[in-house]
Every structure is written in structure tokens, then in C-alpha cells.
Amino acid sequence: MAATAKLARQIGALATKSGGGWYGPHMAAASRAIAERLPLVDLVLEIRDARIPLSSEYEQLRNYPSSSRRIIVMNKMDLANRSQIKLLNFLLARVRELKRTNYFNYTAVIMLIGIPNVGKSALANSLHQIGRISAAEKGKLKHAIVSPNPGETKDISSFKIGSHPNVYVLDTPGVLPPKILNTEVYSKLALTGSIRDCLVGERGIAQYLLALLNSSDEYKKWAKLSMNVNDRTFLDLEAEGLSSCELDKKQKRQYPTDHTQDFIVHDVRRTLFETISFFDGNVQVGEDLSRLIETQFTSLREAFQVPVELGEEAQNKVAAKLLNLFRTGRLGHYTLDSLPWHT
Ligand SMILES: Nc1nc2c(ncn2[C@@H]2O[C@H](COP(=O)(O)OP(=O)(O)OP(=O)(O)O)[C@@H](O)[C@H]2O)c(=O)[nH]1
Ligand SMILES: [Mg+2]
């Protein structure tokens, strides 16, 4: 992991040198608006990205005094609706408990806060929908905009999630501190999508992703994809009188070339498995790791069916497609922060 961490720090350092581009007037204003409201709300729900439970901490809350009013939620664990119902019931029960000691305030407000892109708006929508499912207002449900790009929510808005007492959640804009000193944390935030790709460059982020994949065991799960290809080459294809190349072309012609199609994801996983397992160097050594990543970019271009004629631009396209697969969970599940084992 040492070579991977080094690469993460290098990429993070390059990006942070270019200045705090992630922190604009919008974020500064949002940060002030959140800080002003913080003392007025009944509960604060800090949303974190389960892949980076430490790096996605909302820094301004570190010294937040009342821990009884602060709840941390790990999002993106691909919560089923069931667990969101559980979360809603838990929140409503918590509000009722607080109201018993503070019943003069009839309406309760829960503020969702977190760094950009952790899923605050998606969670606000779910809680609102589940909370209002049997309510008369069902037809008038509001909808917060959810997007894969960070910085989508610009203003604080409220969503009703319960009655008796009336309970509202406030969806807020994602906020990061103006300075991120830890360059490795910076790279993790870029990889998980909390910092806009253009600030780091998709290619650099994809190199970091490949370094992580190369030093984790996830790729071993894709061994059977490689074997399937061989099986097909020797048995089925012969029976059908097709070469493996002909079969591949035949299959691919049936679909539009969308990099999220199953067969492309399959090819990408197989390519990653083969490049890692046939590699003759040591991925813990920086130079070897860079050599492997370079080879992988070339092989992945084919897997993603990016035309070679695009030249340099082809590399950027490969990087963008690879990041998209990672961020939608199609390259496996990862925890990027090293946690003490007891957490
Ligand atoms: N896999 C997965 N994706 C999620 C989950 N929650 C949200 N997302 C996705 O994460 C992306 C960001 O979600 P948003 O709800 O817009 O995030 P946000 O925290 O409101 O972002 P900002 O408004 O930019 O701060 C979207 O592409 C969502 O579809 C989840 O539990 N699992
Ligand atoms: Mg949002």
C-alpha cells in the first residue's frame, strides 16, 4: 500500500498546489448559513460516505458540543428501503424523546449536513417520501435534485418527514474546509466524487484508482471471467464454428456502445484481472506500479471500445469511464480509510 499512498499524496499535492478550487463563494455562504442554523435545530445528522468514514468527516462539526444531538450516518452502503424506514423510525423516536424534555417547541427540525456528494439530498428525498407516504400531502411531494456531480445543492431547503410532532429535515449544500492539508485525504475525496474531477484531472484520479485496485484482492474475484473466455474459445465456439473474435464482434454489435453495458463491465473486470495477475513486477515498488498502470490504460481502451484515433483524448475517456464504474459500485466495494480494527 506504500506505493499507492505515495501516488495518492503526489496527485493530491499537485491538485492542492493549484489552490482551493473546490471552495468558492457558494460554499463559504453555505458554511455560514449552516453554522447560523446549527444552534437552532433539534438534531444534526452528519452524513458520511461509507467508503471513507474518516476522510468524509464534516470538519466544522469536530468540536460540536452536544453529542446527544449529533448522529452520524454512513451513507452509500446501498441502503435498502427497509433500512431507511428503520432510520426514519429511529429519528422520529429520537425527536419524541427530545420533545419530552423540551416540549414547548412543537416543530422539530433535523439538519442533514456533510461534505459534497455523500447523498444528503437522496436521503432527504427518501425520508420525505417514506414519511409522507400515508399523508394527505402525498400528491404534493417535493423533490431535491440528486446528481453525481458535487455541489448540486445550492440552498438549504426543508422536507416534512413526520407529523405529531411535525418533523422536518433540512437538506443543505455540501461543504468542505477551505484548506485540505492532508493530500492523501484530498485524493480520496476526489476519487469518491466530493471534489470536482476537473480540479484534479480524471486521469490522475483514475491512476490512483488503478493503484488501489492493483494492491487490493478484489480483482481475484474476477478470475472466472478469464476462465470463461478460455472455455468458450475451446468448446462452444468450435461447436458454433465461430472464432472468439467473430463471437465477440457478433455480441457487441447487438448493443449500443455504452460503457455500463454488462459485457463491457465484464471485459473491464477481465482486463483488470489479467493485467494484474500476469504482471511480472512488484506493485509495492513505485516504478513497477506506474508501468502496470500505463499497460492497463492501453488494455482498458480496448475493453471500453474507445477508438485509438482519439490519441491523448482516448486516455481521458478511459479514465472517465473507469471512474464511473467505480463510483457506481461496478468494480467492487472498497473502504479507502484505514480504520482501527475495533471500529
Ligand atoms: N450507490 C449509492 N449511491 C448513492 C447513495 N446515496 C446517494 N447516491 C448517489 O450519490 C450521488 C450524490 O447524491 P446527492 O444526494 O446529490 O448528494 P449530496 O450530498 O446532496 O450532494 P451535494 O448537494 O453536492 O452536496 C448521486 O449520484 C446519488 O444517486 C447510496 O446510498 N448508494
Ligand atoms: Mg444535495
For residue range 147-204, list pLDDT tens digits in order.
999 999 999 999 999 887 889 999 999 999 988 888 999 999 999 999 999 988 999 9
pTM: 0.82
Dihedral sign, Cα of residue 329, residue 330, residue 334, residue 336: negative
Query: What CATH number should be reported for the domain whose range is 24-171?
Result: 3.40.50.300
Q: Is the CB of 195 under 6 A from ligand 1?
A: no
CB 146 within 8 A of CB 117: no
Query: Going by C-beta distance under 8 Å and a sequence separation of 6 or more, which residues neighbour residue 240?
Result: 247
pLDDT: is 102 or 202 the higher one? Answer: 202
Q: Is the CB of 141 under 6 A from ligand 1?
A: no
Dihedral pair phi/psi, residue 64, rounded to 5°: -60, 125
Element spanning 228, H or E: helix 223-231
| pLDDT in the model for residue 80 | 44
Whose CA is closest to atom 6 on ligand 1?
A: 119
Categorize the per-residue pLDDT at 51 as very low, low, confident or very high, splitting at 50, 70 and 90.
Answer: confident
Residue boundaries of the structural domains of the chain: 24-171, 183-327
Categorize the per-residue pLDDT at 234 as very low, low, confident or very high, splitting at 50, 70 and 90.
Answer: very low
| pLDDT in the model for residue 135 | 64
Whose CA is closest to atom 7 on ligand 1?
A: 119
Q: Is the CB of 193 under 6 A from ligand 1?
A: no
pLDDT digit string (tens) for 237-287?
444 454 445 555 555 555 556 777 888 999 999 999 999 999 998 988 889
Residue 171 Cα, ligand 2 centroid: separation in angstroms?
7
| pLDDT in the model for residue 152 | 94
Dihedral pair phi/psi, residue 47, rounded to 5°: -90, 130
Q: Is the CB of 149 under 6 A from ligand 1?
A: no
Atom of ligand 1 nearest to the CA of 124: 15
